[in-house]
Structure 1
Amino acid sequence: MEISYASSSHRYLPTMSASSSSSLGSSMPNRPVKTIPLQHPNTTSSSSTPLPQAMFWRWTAKIKRTTPSQWIDTFLPCYRWIRTYKWREYLQPDLMAGLTVGIMLVPQAMSYAKLAGLHPIYGLYTGFIPIFVYAIFGSSRQLAIGPVALVSLLVSNVLGGMDLSDELYTELAILLAFMVGIMECIMAFLRLGWLIRFISHSVISGFTTASAIVIALSQAKYFLGYDVVRSSKIVPLIKSIISGAHKFSWPPFVMGSCILAILLVMKHLGKSRKQFRFLRPAGPLTAVVLGTVFVKIFHPSSISLVGDIPQGLPSFSIPKKFEYAKSLIPTAMLITGVAILESVGIAKALAAKNGYELDSSQELFGLGLANILGSFFSAYPSTGSFSRSAVNNDSGAKTGLAGIVAGTIMGCSLLFLTPLFEYIPQCGLAAIVISAVMGLVDYHEAIFLWHVDKKDFVLWIITSTTTLFLGIEIGVLVGVGVSLAFVIHESANPHIAVLGRLPGTTVYRNIQQYPEAYTYNGIVIVRVDAPIYFANISFIKDRLREYEADVDKSARHGPEVERIHFLILEMSPITYIDSSAVQALKDLHQEYKSRDIEICIANPNQDVLLTLTKAGIVELIGKEWYFVRVHDAVQVCLQHVQSLNQTPKNPDSFAEDKQSFFQRLSKQREEDLSIAELESGTPTPSLLVSLYLQNGLNPAVRRDNVKIQFRSLSAHQTYRCTISCKTVTPAAVVAPSDSTVVEFDAVDCA
């Protein structure tokens, strides 16, 4: 079955094709029409191929259309940049970026492994294999993946509270990487990346700010020289720090503070001045080198060191302890969400900055495969790093070759440099972590939200507070829950506006936003700025009843009637309407019909009109009450309302004949000239007559054939007004005075 739309001067009239069994639109005028299928193009009819079989045939057709080169591009994004690689232009910046990120990654990887409660060697393993895998299967050309602070803290928070041996702790951290990778691949296959959109930026900012504070406090033990309880809550951390104050040691505090100061100065200079840009990525390496040299020279006994680190590349081994997988699912889901937010967010920003498209599904697949294969080589969960990705981009990275170079630097470090890492002070690694997370404390965002959107500010406060005091997992869940609650509330309570006509135009706008817009007695025009479905239809019906009761109080133009006779629904913002809304619309029509109130539909889009047609709403309301524009609906409604009063005072009715138009014009009072007064401040004759011609004259008169000429007759602002057109040539002498009456001497010369 097909439906056609014929556009008339003021109707939105659906007509059925000849093949249709419906009688709708049989009396339509004979004019060219645009025919569209009644069935939505993205759905299948009940009489066509069943859905699973239809999906199979669509996949089959897609496979047949896809060339081998396209398949390679889809599953191996690296093939795209390898095929078009500009060796002279790209090679040097890729090598420099990879070298810079690799130098930055080595000390950071060890620091984040310590944050995760693991031996530093597992941080190096996490920064090795996953980088190569992502460079091949990832879609971002500047994203630098590996161990990051937030994920490391999540691993430490969950596994640290399970009373595990060191060996079991490490095996479960590796198992988490495997589970996170599986979840990311499933999300990529099912294209579920859109779920992340429900987590607002306020939640992310509040969560990262609170997490940064917790991370910094958790590293205090390496500065203070004594153990601090492992916790993701701020209160136990502060209590532990205070209770152990008598064990305070000056050497690690002084050394850690000096290294932290060096890192912050180098980071600031690298950001603020271009000539010192190289200092930013060199900061962690400088801190490690200075700390190691100090330890080698002075041999301080009170400063704890990293200790022995195994030399060589990681060996292949399948993750173990799958019996713990069930209990780790919530943690794996949380890490997956945080990893995707951190990685995809920075990847999209870098892709837009460098002018290429990012495939979110391929991005999830690349991250998932990097974690799965990384877990076979003793890596714990990894994701994209904000700091290293920014350095990679600033260093000029053009393709994934930069990631391969960074991974090679890590491999060389594992092969040849691990004996030197034995003398790295723990407080130096802690300083690297604190320096990295200080940039995550986003108090500027809180100030911005306070000035811009109080609701988002409250969301930021709730998320950060619950994360600080109740833990990271609860903080994320509460933040996401409140964010979804706000979304549901906005969806269930959509914005609804009563529309009025702007003076001198046929444009209708929200009367609260445009106080000068005027309404009509007996007619209420309503616009719902959201899809209509089961969750918000009750709210919409309640608001319509309120408008019905209150609209007469604000109406300032039109025939004086005692109650509402027409409800015009402006439906252009409504993109979807479900079965519950359709049924509610039927009930509303019956309720209004019993009180002699007609419902008019103005400007519904194609999908909504198809739904209304299939549900029988078009026939129920009547095709004569469907319109292309709100103004067309208003004009028709005014024609009906005017029959209730034989002496209308509305100046804008299109249905008046020319004789009554000029008769009324000659008796018009100044208090009814608000249109002209609002436009110019004074009811000048030229503006007055022009407005009446635009809005009041019979539409059969072509506006481009109307000529208005004014000639001054005296010094008392008396004008001769000549109006000429094809059907009428009246002459009028317009004489404004100080009294409340503006007199016209009008002669109809039809």
Structure 2
Amino acid sequence: MLVPQSMSYAKLAGLQPIYGLYSSFVPVIVYAVFGSSRQLAVGPVALVSLLVSNALGGIVDPSEELYTELAILLALLVGIFECIMGFLRLGWLIRSISHSVISGFTTASAIVIGLSQLKYFLGYNVSRSNKIVPLVESVIAGADQFKWPPFLLGSTILVILLVMKHVGKANKELQFIRAAGPLTGLALGTTIAKVFHSPSISLVGDIPQGLPKFSLPKSFDHAKLLLPTAALITGVAILESVGIAKALAAKNRYELDSNSELFGLGVANIFGSLFSAYPTTGSFSRSAVYSESEAKTGLSGLVTGIIIGCSLLFLTPVFKYIPQCALAAIEISAVSGLVDYEGGIFLWRVDKRDFTLWSITSTTTLFFGIEIGVLVGVGFSLAFVIHESANPHIAVLGRLPGTTVYRNMKQYPEAYTYNGIVIVRVDAPIYFANISYIKDRLREYEVAFDKHTNKGPEVERIYFLILEMSPVTYIDSSAVEALKELYEEYKTRDIQLAISNPNKEVLLTLARSGIVELFGKEWCFVRVHDPVQVCLHYVESKNQTPTNVAESSSSSLWRGCSAKNTSHTGS
């Protein structure tokens, strides 16, 4: 499976097929030693190959030797980036990118890859581009040069590959049929090409025989130009590899360290660059075959590397008769699985915001290119994260009938509140980015929410606002200052703030900052029902001050919270 795929991916990258085989030799063996995944199949992949072609095509013509040198240098830079990220444990940076962005990006890239391979089916040249419009225009413009032989051969092989893939996926017992598809396509295409000798069917041609020789990467004067592309390839490679490796680790019930995985991939690329390899990463389709074959150790990678080595030593004379359309069919078949239209439908049903992100990323990638697509997708993803963080969910809580449990009133319509008391839960950390939004919402509740209350004595306004803080995992100095301002503002209107159920870290921060002392430690509670009872007692009596009532109340006040605070401090 790897031999035909690696050759076709090298063509996609703008390189000679031999460099796909080189990239499937040393990196595979090195990863088997240093990598942490037992089933991840490392080697050339479609997406990285397209990125290499897109980046280097704007610098130098693929026919020049410098193009190959830069592709090898790119492998070194990617390997260095991956090792640095592994050492510094920066894998979490990549995880911050939304799955919707990844899905939209890979879907659009797969379409572009498929269109770019049509030239081998049609029998005429199609302009190199990573945008859909120039590709389609080029296909239409050259229609008068269409040739039937490569189209019929390529289409036949593609249909066979897709059928074998479907049969293998539908029946686990026939999984080997899926894995044998690319090799079957190559054998069929080579046989037909040798028998009919059609001049319109272009062949791969001579491929150097023997193992790759050790050599240091060249053209370091171009390294600065390649850094952005190396960073992009690193991100895409990590997302693809680590995601696959984690899924396989979970399926096979073992732990996988993302940072160790990054280091293993980095070392594989660095050593690969010393033996004429271009950037490699984990392949989903080949890894799936490893997993279904019940590979349990990295030995499977060593065996794969040895097989590739034997192919380089003994089989390259046969490879020169492989039709280009056969490699293109293998490539189109491989990337067809990346077109995640089902993911788009799922997102439309489940989360319209994620669907919007998926649509923006895929559309931008299709029409404006890969780099722009990635930047726009990541930019929108981060914008959504910032928006969610700056506008956290805030729930007004009500009491469930017959219980002392308080829940979100929008989720539990039967819950009720008490006149003069508002209970608010902030479902996020409170810090500088969202404190203004939280303050504005609290003011809104003060003005509007008492219109919907339905229990307790009739009162003309809000007397108490209870902050339920169990979901608040962190509070910063800006939020502390804002709470002080809010307390003073409410004090002028005779509204008492109370705090319920803060966790250890938040409680200690509030105590150190003077919030507990400012509010009065008698207004810090362990559970929501406690301050409700105190506040309700005040609202009913109305002849005592809030503080006096709190001080005369039961064990639900600071005594419980103070004990909690003391135990936290001592822990």
TM-score, length-scaled by structure 2: 0.94
- 1: CA distance, partners of 2:106 / 2:190: 31
Deviation at 1:320, TM superposition (A): 1.1
The corresponding residue for 1:307 is 205
**What is aligned with 2:53?**
156
Q: Which position in structure 1 is the counterpart of 2:548? A: none
1:462–1:479 Cα contact (<8 Å) kept: yes
* Separation in 1, partners of 2:142, 2:553: 89
Aligned to 1:345: 243
User: What is the aligned partner in structure 2 of residue 121 from structure 1?
Assistant: 18
In the alignment, the residues of structure 1 paired with residue 236 and residue 171 of structure 2 have an alpha-carbon distance, to the nearest angstrom, of 32
Q: Secondary structure of the equivalent of 2:397? A: strand
Distance in structure 2 (CA, Å) of the matches to 1:362 and 1:572: 35
Does the alignment pair 1:131 with 2:28? yes
Q: In structure 2, the residue corresponding to 1:304 is in which secondary structure?
A: coil
Partner of 1:140: 37
**Paired residue for 2:413, among 490, 515, 529?**
515
The amino acid of 1:175's aligned partner reads: L
Which residue identity is paired with 1:459? L
Are residues 1:376 and 2:279 paired? no
Aligned residue for 1:719? none
Structure-2 residue corresponding to 1:282: 180
Q: Is the 8 A contact 1:561 1:644 kept in 2?
A: no
Indicate the structure whose relative CO is greater, using CA pairs within 8 Å and at least 6 residues apart: 2
Structure 2 match to 1:247: 145
Instruction: Give the corresponding residue for 2:154.
Output: 256
Matches for 1:91-106 after TM superposition, within 5 Å: 104-106=1-3
The aligned runs of 1:575-590 (5 Å cut-off) are: 575-590=473-488
Cross-structure match for 1:392: 290
Q: Choose which of 110, 114, 124 in structure 1 pairs with 2:7.
A: 110
1:599 corresponds in structure 2 to 497
1:244 Cα deviation (Å)?
0.6
Q: Report how far residue 519 of structure 1 moved.
A: 1.0
- The Cα shift of 1:645 comes to 7.1
Give secondary structure in 2 for the equivalent of 1:255: helix
Cα deviation, residue 643, structure 1: 2.3
Correspondence for 1:539 = 437
Contact 1:571 1:605 in 2 (8 A): yes
Query: What is the letter of the counterpart of residue 90 of structure 2?
Result: L
Q: Does 1:457 align with 2:355?
A: yes
Letter in 2 for 1:414: L
SS of the residue corresponding to residue 278 of structure 1 reads helix
User: 2:165 & 2:480 partners in 1: Cα distance?
Assistant: 60
| Paired residues for 1:63-74 under 5 Å | none
* Aligned equivalent of 2:450: 552
C-alpha separation in 2, matches of 1:601 and 1:204: 41
Q: Note the alpha carbon deviations across 1:69-111, whole angstroms, 9 max, x for none.
A: xxxxxxxxxxxxxxxxxxxxxxxxxxxxxxxxxxx10111100
Q: Which residue of 2 aligns with 1:83?
A: none
* Mapping for residues 24-35 of structure 1, pairs under 5 Å: none
Measure the CA separation in 2 of the matches of 1:339 and 1:655.
61
* 1:119-165, Cα deviation, whole Å (9 max, x unpaired): 00000000000001100110000000000000000001111122335
**Partners of 1:444 and 1:430 in 2: CA distance:** 24
Query: What secondary structure sits across from 2:465 in the alignment?
Result: strand
Which stretches of structure 1, 4 residues or longer, exceed 6 Å deviation after superposition? none
Aligned residues: 546
Change (3 A) 1:559 1:149: same
| 1:560-583 deviations in Å (ceiling 9; x for gaps) | 222111110000000000010001
Q: What is the rounded CA distance, in whole Å, between the counterparts of 1:228 and 1:326 in structure 2? A: 30
Task: Give SS of 1:497's match.
Answer: strand
Specify the code of the residue in structure 1 equivalent to 2:503: N
* Counterpart Cα distance in 1 of 2:168 and 2:542: 78
Structure 1: how far apart are the matches of 2:293 and 2:536? 68
- Say if 1:560 and 1:645, in contact at 8 Å, map to a contact too: no
CA contact (8 A) 1:140 1:347 kept: yes
1:603-645 residue CA offsets vs partner (Å, 9 max, x unmatched): 0000000111111111111101011011001111112222227
Does the aligned pair in 2 maintain the 1:132–1:403 contact within 8 Å?
A: yes
| Secondary structure of the structure 2 residue equivalent to 1:500 | strand
Q: How far apart are 1:322 and its partner, in Å?
A: 1.1
CA distance in 2, matches of 1:405, 1:163: 36
Aligned to 2:422, the other structure's residue is in SS state strand
User: Could you tell me which of 376, 381, 393 is aligned with 1:495?
Assistant: 393
The amino acid that maps onto 1:378 is S
- 2: CA distance, partners of 1:590 / 1:365: 53
The aligned residue for residue 564 of structure 2 is none
Q: Structure 2 CA distance, aligned partners of 1:243 and 1:281?
A: 37
User: What amino acid sits opposite 1:585 in the alignment?
Assistant: L
Q: Return the index of the structure with the highest Cα Rg.
A: 1
Identity over the aligned pairs, expressed in percent?
77
1:313-332 to 2 correspondence within 5 Å?
Answer: 313-332=211-230
Task: Work out whether 1:612 is the aligned partner of 2:510.
Answer: yes
Is residue 343–residue 385 contact of structure 1 (8 Å, CA) maintained in 2? yes
Distance 2:329 2:17 in 1: 15
Q: Determine the C-alpha separation between the residues in 2 that align with 1:211 and 1:136.
A: 31
Alignment-derived partner of residue 77 in structure 2: 179
Shift of 1:559: 2.1
Look up the match of 1:91: none
Q: Which consecutive residues of structure 2, in runs of 5 or more, have no partner in the other structure?
A: 545-551, 555-571
Q: Which amino acid is 1:520 matched to? A: Y
- Cα shift at 1:655: 8.7
**Aligned partners of 2:112, 2:152: CA distance in 1, in Å?**
22
Structure 1 Cα separation of the partners of residues 474 and 274 of structure 2 = 47
CA distance in 2 between counterparts of 1:273 and 1:482 reads: 40
Quickly say closer, same or farther: Cα 1:645–1:517, change in 2 above 3 A.
farther
8 Å contact from structure 1 (residues 559, 645) kept in 2: no
- Structure (1 or 2) with the greater helix fraction: 2
Deviation readout 1:356-397 (Å, 9 max, x if unpaired): 000111000000000011000000000000000001111121
- 2:303 corresponds in structure 1 to 405
Counterparts of 1:633 and 1:163 in 2: how far apart (Å)? 72
What is aligned with 1:21?
A: none
SS in 2 for 1:277: helix
* C-alpha deviation, 1:275, in angstroms: 4.1
Distance in 2 (CA, whole Å) between partners of 1:498 and 1:270 is 53
Q: Confirm or deny: 8 A CA contact 2:60 2:66 kept in the other structure.
A: no
Letter in 2 for 1:110: M
Deviation by residue 1:474-497 (Cα, 9 ceiling, x = unmatched): 111111111111111111100111
Distance across 2 between alignment mates of 1:396 and 1:496: 48
Which amino acid is 2:457 matched to? P
**Offset at 1:277?**
2.2
Match of 2:562 in 1: none
Gaps of 5+ in 1: 1-103, 647-653, 657-750
Matched position secondary structure for 2:462: coil
**Corresponding position of 2:336:** 438
The C-alpha deviation readout for 1:423-482, integer Å capped at 9, x for no partner, is 000000000000001111111111111111111111111111001000011111111111
3-state SS of paired residue (2:424) = strand
Per the alignment, in what secondary structure is the counterpart of residue 384 of structure 1? Answer: strand
Q: Report if aligned partners of 1:522, 1:552 keep a CA contact under 8 Å in 2.
A: yes
Matches within 5 A, 1:657-736: none
**More displaced stretch, 322-331 vs 346-355:** 322-331
The one-letter amino acid of 2:70's match is L
